[in-house]
Chains A and B, each alone.
Chain A
Amino acid sequence: MENVNNLGLVLAGSAIGAGLSMIAGIGPGIGEGYAVGKACEAIGRQPEQQGAVSRTMFIGCAIAESTGIYGFVVAILLMFANPFIGKLA
């Protein structure tokens, strides 16, 4: 371990953190799948309401996606605009 300098340690930690933050993608995946399933049920029950149901579902899906997007933003920050490298000096 004596060959590892501070910068290497920070970069390695950031890379691991970026990967870990993308675990946030699990939640929206499950949630959106459930929402689409429910929307299919609703359309099957009332096919004449297809337009309204799918419009509401799309908006709900896009909002449910936010948490995954936040994870993605954190990953992007860690990879391309790392705030920790500046703190080394």
Chain B
Amino acid sequence: MEAQELITGSHYLGLNLFGLEIRISETVVVGWILIIVIGIILKLLTHDLKKIPTGKRQVIAEWIVTTVNSLVKETMGEKNIAFAPYIAALFMSSIMGSLVGLFGLRPITSNYNTTIAWALVTFVMVQFFSIRTKGLKLHLKSYINPLNIIGDLALPVSMSFRHFGNVSSGFIISAILYMALSALSGAIGLPAPLTTVGIPGFLSLYFDLFSGFMQAFVFIMLTMAFVGAATEE
């Protein structure tokens, strides 16, 4: 694989539809697979619920719901508990999107389009709830100070770049290490790139598991903090 192609991820599935070329990137395909997988997991966890749980399945489902609810209550206040499903969905897709790196796929969060989309949702939510709680007049009044305009516009940029940069830097470092290790085994005369076995696993443990989890957590914490601040009187 060409180094640049590996890093910028220009894998396209070209479709020719009525003379119009449609390109479907790897991120879109992996994203849809993730949506289906998450849907199946949730369906398995929540079908056939009982008032008194008998199996482990329902206990796990209840634990997830309680944890997310208490986190949202803690950071956004009791009245904003309706945000919990969105926060849980965001966290789930972010963490699964980073964890697909463990299967050798390209993480969907290492494509800037994914993270800017999520960050723009947060931006629109902040604007919407700020207008709804304060009123349009008071909301626009805060923009008399031009620094507030810059601050609000910087919010989606910084959030999306942070998540994208963290995941894609890990992806690039892993890719470079793979190439270096296979070059090394070629140089010392091994018949197959044996040095690539095992060693990149430790890096993957940090970059895919720890960093992916951390960035997902930071993303939902920032979303909750900004939206929570916008809903306050």
Contacts and interface: CB of A to CB of B under 8 A. Distances in A.
Interface of A: 58-59, 62-63, 65-66, 69-70, 72-73, 76, 80-81
B210 to A, nearest CB: 10
A73 B166 contact: no
B165 A73 contact: yes
Contact of B162 (A69, A76, A80, A81): A69
Given A80-B4, A80-B7, A70 B218 contact: no
A73 B8 CA distance: 12
Interface size class of B (residues with CB under 8 A): 10 to 19
B218 A62 contact: yes
Interface of B: 4, 7-8, 158, 161-162, 164-166, 168-169, 172, 214-215, 217-218, 221-222
Nearest to A58: B214
A72 B169 contact: yes
B174 to A, nearest CB: 15
Contacts of A81: 8
A66 B161 contact: yes
A65 B162 CA distance: 8
Contacts of B158: 66
A81 B168 CA distance: 15
